[in-house]
């Protein structure tokens, strides 16, 4: 991906490339308000739907567990979360539109029960979500024209990362360097052989840590390349699903566990005949390795950017209009009450 007309004519590509600026310029008003809410809560629930939850929430839980998580953090879709007792939790709900039906329904119900620790995260001012929240953060990335959310996903994740860091008495640093590496990754040249393999695959599987990256890319595969896709958490790919895989299926592994590479090669590349592709900071033993820069505290954002790059090239290879899915909608389920 680059700044040529081939890519710039699509809102999706422009918004992906704008992600680097979003990261470099990230600032959060009222940070203390949100951080204090986390410190005062017995636990935190991060909710929302689709891309507004997958990467932002699961990346946050993954990072906080690495930091020794003092306050338990959970994530669930808003409808299922209605079945839980959230009375002692601070609830953060992300919705770019501020009118996602499942989230509005959950927060309205909680507010009626007297729950006051409700916090929103959206792109627009004066939304339905803001009306039912104690405090709402408005992202600075601006609205997205493409159906597939990209730059907003990164800023949502940064919001949580900044809030949880502040709750520990820390602050984010190195954002400009991270932004530079994100742009570099987005513009990384991908081997035509890799693109051909993905474009001709029946199903594209993503495997990797349960930190939101592989799962989010699985969703983006549906929206961008219109290919069937599935997320295989951790080492699930080597624990039975090979029975139904086809040799033409492709498996993209995000930052493979070194000690599991041999098993993946044995079960999938040699056993099924799958094409294995890794996205990592190192060259792996798989058939294809996409090597990306080291990003430190922002490594997951670079992995996400590499996946976006890959999917854009695949979509263009297939002659797809990246901005106009046939069925997918910008607001999956808009509140109509």
Same domain? For 77 and 52 the reply is yes
> Containing domain of residue 27, as a range?
5-173
DSSP 8-state assignment for residue 75: E
Same domain? For 22 and 99 the reply is yes
23, HSE (Cβ side, Cα atoms, 13 Å):
31
Residue 298 counted as domain residue: no
- Three-state DSSP state, 47: strand
Tokens in use for 220?
Answer: 């983006």
Residue 302 counted as domain residue: no
Mean pLDDT of 231-237: 90
Q: Given a cut of 60, is residue 330 above it in pLDDT?
A: no
- Based on the structure, what is the number of domains in the chain? 2
CATH of the domain at 17: 3.40.50.10490
Same domain? For 155 and 236 the reply is no
Residues 139-187 have pLDDT tens digits of: 999 999 998 999 999 999 999 999 999 999 999 999 999 999 999 999 9
CB distance 128 to 99 below 8 Å: yes
Q: Given a cut of 80, is residue 331 above it in pLDDT?
A: no
- Lay out the sheet containing 275-280: strands in order across: 228-233, 203-208, 250-254, 275-280, 288-291
Residue 296 counted as domain residue: no
Of 252, 272, 291, the residue that ends a domain is 291
Instruction: Identify the pLDDT of residue 328.
Output: 59
Same domain? For 110 and 224 the reply is no
Same domain? For 167 and 194 the reply is no
Same domain? For 160 and 206 the reply is no
Residue 278 counted as domain residue: yes
Residues 63-116 have pLDDT tens digits of: 999 999 989 999 999 999 999 999 999 999 999 999 999 999 999 999 999 999
Same domain? For 98 and 239 the reply is no
> Which residue from 248, 258, 198 is spatially nearest to 227, judged by alpha carbons?
198
Instruction: Identify the pLDDT of residue 160.
Output: 98
Residue 314: pLDDT band with limits 50, 70, 90: very high
Instruction: Identify the pLDDT of residue 11.
Output: 97
Instruction: Identify the pLDDT of residue 335.
Output: 56
DSSP secondary structure string for all residues of 92-105: EEE-SSS-BHHHHH
DSSP secondary structure string for all residues of 222-247: HHHT--EEEEEETTGGGTTGGGT--T
Residue 307 counted as domain residue: no
Of 270, 291, 312, the residue that ends a domain is 291
Paired with 137 in beta bridges are 121
Same domain? For 134 and 67 the reply is yes
Residue with tokens 């609830």: 91
Q: 83 Cβ partners below 8 Å, 6+ apart? A: none
pTM, full prediction = 0.95
């Amino acid at each position: 991906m680059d700044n040529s007309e081939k890519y710039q004519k699509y809102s999706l590509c422009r918004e992906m490339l704008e992600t680097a600026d979003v990261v470099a310029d990230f600032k959060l008003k009222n940070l203390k308000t949100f951080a204090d809410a986390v410190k005062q809560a017995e636990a935190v629930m991060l909710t929302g739907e689709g891309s507004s939850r997958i990467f932002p929430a699961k990346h946050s839980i993954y990072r906080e567990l690495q930091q020794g998580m003092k306050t338990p953090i959970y994530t669930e879709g808003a409808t299922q979360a209605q079945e839980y007792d959230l009375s002692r939790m601070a609830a953060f709900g992300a919705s770019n539109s501020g009118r996602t039906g499942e989230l509005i329904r959950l927060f309205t119900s909680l507010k009626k029960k007297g729950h006051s620790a409700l916090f929103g995260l959206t792109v627009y001012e004066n939304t339905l979500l803001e009306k039912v929240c104690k405090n709402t953060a408005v992202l600075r990335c601006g609205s997205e024209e493409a159906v597939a959310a990209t730059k907003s996903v990164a800023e949502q994740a940064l919001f949580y990362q900044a809030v949880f860091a502040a709750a520990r008495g820390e602050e984010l640093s190195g954002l400009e360097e991270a932004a530079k590496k994100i742009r570099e990754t987005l513009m990384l040249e991908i081997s035509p052989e890799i693109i051909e393999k993905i474009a001709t695959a029946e199903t594209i599987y993503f495997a990797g840590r349960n930190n939101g990256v592989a799962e989010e890319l699985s969703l983006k595969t549906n929206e961008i390349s219109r290919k069937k896709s599935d997320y295989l958490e951790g080492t699930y790919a080597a624990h039975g699903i090979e029975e139904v895989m086809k040799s033409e299926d492709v498996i993209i592994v995000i930052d493979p566990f070194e000690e599991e590479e041999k098993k993946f090669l044995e079960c999938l590349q040699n056993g099924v005949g799958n094409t294995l592709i890794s996205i990592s900071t190192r060259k792996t033993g798989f058939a294809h390795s996409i090597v990306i820069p080291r990003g430190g505290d922002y490594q997951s954002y670079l992995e996400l950017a590499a996946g976006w790059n890959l999917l854009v090239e695949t979509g263009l290879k297939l002659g797809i209009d990246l901005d106009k899915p046939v069925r997918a909608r910008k607001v999956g389920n808009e509140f109509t009450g």
